[in-house]
């Protein structure tokens, strides 16, 4: 019985380690300039449909290579930076109207 429990614990540890390694690989890949669609969705916290809308509207840069989209991480950063700047300007204008 002890052998079964020990094997079960080892299996659980391997599953946990595998999950940690997978997460670390994802984090490392997110530091690269070009991201897969899956990575870009994780990085931007957008759904695939929303990200594709941004790509189609040229708000975020991406190219299709060999049938797969690769997305420019820097353009995602710029997209959010531009959006944040727009909100600040609107807040300033509201303050002036008061």
pLDDT tens string 20-65: 777 777 666 667 899 999 999 999 999 999 999 999 999 999 999 9
Same domain, 40 and 86: yes
Same domain, 38 and 24: no
Same domain, 27 and 40: no
C-alpha 17/C-alpha 23 separation (Å) is 10
Q: Look at residues 41, 46, 76 and name the one whose alpha carbon lies nearest to residue 59.
A: 76
- Token pair of 35, please? 């991201």
Number of C-beta neighbours around residue 71 at 10 A: 26
Q: Report the number of distinct structural domains present in the chain.
A: 2
Same domain, 40 and 27: no
Where residue 16 falls among pLDDT bands split at 50, 70, 90?
confident
DSSP 17: H
Same domain, 62 and 15: no
Same domain, 3 and 41: no
Structural domain boundaries, residue 84: 34-98
Share of the chain above pLDDT 70, in %: 79
């Amino acid at each position: 019985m002890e052998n079964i429990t020990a094997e079960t614990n080892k299996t659980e540890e391997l599953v946990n380690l595998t999950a940690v390694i997978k997460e670390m690989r994802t984090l490392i890949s997110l530091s690269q300039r070009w991201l897969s669609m899956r990575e870009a969705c994780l990085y931007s916290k957008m759904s695939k449909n929303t990200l594709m809308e941004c790509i189609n509207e040229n708000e975020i840069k991406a190219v299709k290579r060999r049938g797969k989209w690769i997305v420019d991480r820097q353009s995602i950063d710029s997209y959010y930076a531009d959006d944040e700047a727009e909100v600040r300007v609107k807040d300033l204008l509201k303050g002036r109207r008061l």
